[in-house]
Amino acid sequence: MKTVKFATACTVTLLLAACASPQQALYKKADQGDAQSQLKLGLNLFHGENGFEQDRQKSLVYLEKSSAQGNAEAAFNLGAIHAKEKNYASALNYYQTACDNDYLNACDNLALLYKDGNGTAKNLHKAEQIVLQAIEKGSLYSHRIAATIYLEDHKPKKAIAHFKHLIMAPTTKQNPAYYKAYAATDVMEAYLTLKDQRNAYLWGSVAMLAAGFDAPIESIQKRFDDYQMLSKTLNTKTKHALAEQIIAEHFNGFQSSKRYFQTEQLPAIKPGVIDPDREHTINFVGYFITPNRMLFSTINALEKRDDAPSKIQLAMKKLDLSNKHMQYGAVYLQTAAAKLTTKQAIEVMNSISDKRLDYYKTLANRKLDVMNDIYDYQIATIKAHKPAEGA
């Protein structure tokens, strides 16, 4: 019945426009020369989305029309399409067009083509110029591209500066914590090329506390092996002395943009050491538990089970909770909570014979060592500070 009524309504001249499908309406606007509609239509046709049948050739026609009108996003997408199909010379031209119109993602990709010599002669200097201009125009991600260029050009100190810029920038959707954590492992590797073991260990520890080694894939395991080597090379006194710098850098890169620290504005006694009063501590407990209520509930349920799969899951959830505590590790009570939760995870893993847990056991024990050093530094700092307060 509804279909009949709708068909009848479409015979009314004034409602004809309303009867056009969204696809037809988009075609009409695109064919009338609207550049944004041409872009949208081209992407829908390329991916076969939103009710459109996939049609590569037709999609390129509309993207070309949009690009010709100065739509930098259309030029960027044309570049991406050609790059994926290894038509690098065409990709380079489109990326250049988009970059010239300040589409900064295109500048990144253009720089990489020059860096790798795809579609053009390899030219690290040209790649550097392109990406530095993107950085001047406000591109944050371009710092990573710049760093990779400098690493290939055997300029690790310059690479380190750009990686650190990423790490110290606020944590956002465009610059998520896991990007920053991996950048910290990049800093560690760059310091290793400089044979600077102290700074390599420092940044490897920062990465570890930020969960930079938590994904057991081959490339990350290789970097964790490098960190393990560092830990075995440096003596206990040196590692203990680095605790202050580790927690300070971790705070600056991974904690300072947390809403709690920004709104409460709690003063630090020293870098990476915050000793909240009773009221702030009570407030923080509610602040922390609320978004993690499901995680606490899952852990409580798993602790009542005794089968191996549940124990494995429990250990992983404990490690996850430990990471969440360390996101506020400048508050020494949170470092204590992270230590306790990590110990519990290790105890659970030690009760299970499963080689799949070997990596996580090693990682958890290494985290615990660093947390112990940090906690010792924090407690010593607080004890030294309190007599001065009463003087």
Tell me, what amino acid is at 182?
A: Y
Entry pTM: 0.87
- Cα three-residue angle 85-91-95, rounded to 5 degrees: 140
What would the two tokens of residue 365 be?
């024990």
CA gap 150, 143 in Å, rounded = 10
Lowest mean pLDDT among 78-92, 148-162, 285-299, 375-389: 375-389
Q: Is the pLDDT of residue 267 over 90?
A: no
The pLDDT confidence band at residue 6, using thresholds 50, 70 and 90, is very low
Tokens 């550097």 correspond to 128
The answer to whether 251 touches 274, Cβ cutoff 8 Å, is: no
The answer to whether 106 touches 75, Cβ cutoff 8 Å, is: yes
Q: Is 374 helix (H, G, I), strand (E, B) or coil?
A: helix
Q: Is 274 helix (H, G, I), strand (E, B) or coil?
A: strand
Phi, psi of 233 (to 5 degrees): -80, -45
What would the two tokens of residue 23 be?
């696809």
DSSP state of 305: -
User: Average pLDDT of 148-152?
Assistant: 96
What would the two tokens of residue 299 be?
């852990």
Query: What does 308-360 look like in DSSP terms, one character per residue?
Result: HHHHHHHHHHHHHHHHHHHTTTTBHHHHHHHHHHHHHHHHHHHTS--GGGHHH
- pLDDT number for residue 15: 44
The pLDDT confidence band at residue 2, using thresholds 50, 70 and 90, is very low
pLDDT tens, position by position, 89-106: 999 999 999 999 999 999
Burial of 275 (C-beta count, 10 Å sphere; 0-12/13-18/19+):
buried
Percentage of the residues of the chain whose pLDDT score is greater than 70: 94
Cα atoms in the 13 Å half-sphere on the side-chain side of 55: 12
Tokens 């695109």 correspond to 30
User: Average pLDDT of 226-246?
Assistant: 97
Phi, psi of 92 (to 5 degrees): -60, -45
CA gap 350, 342 in Å, rounded = 12
User: Average pLDDT of 192-210?
Assistant: 98
Instruction: State how far the alpha carbon of 67 is from the alpha carbons of 28, 31, 47, 115, 343, in Å.
Output: 18, 14, 18, 25, 57
- pLDDT number for residue 388: 54
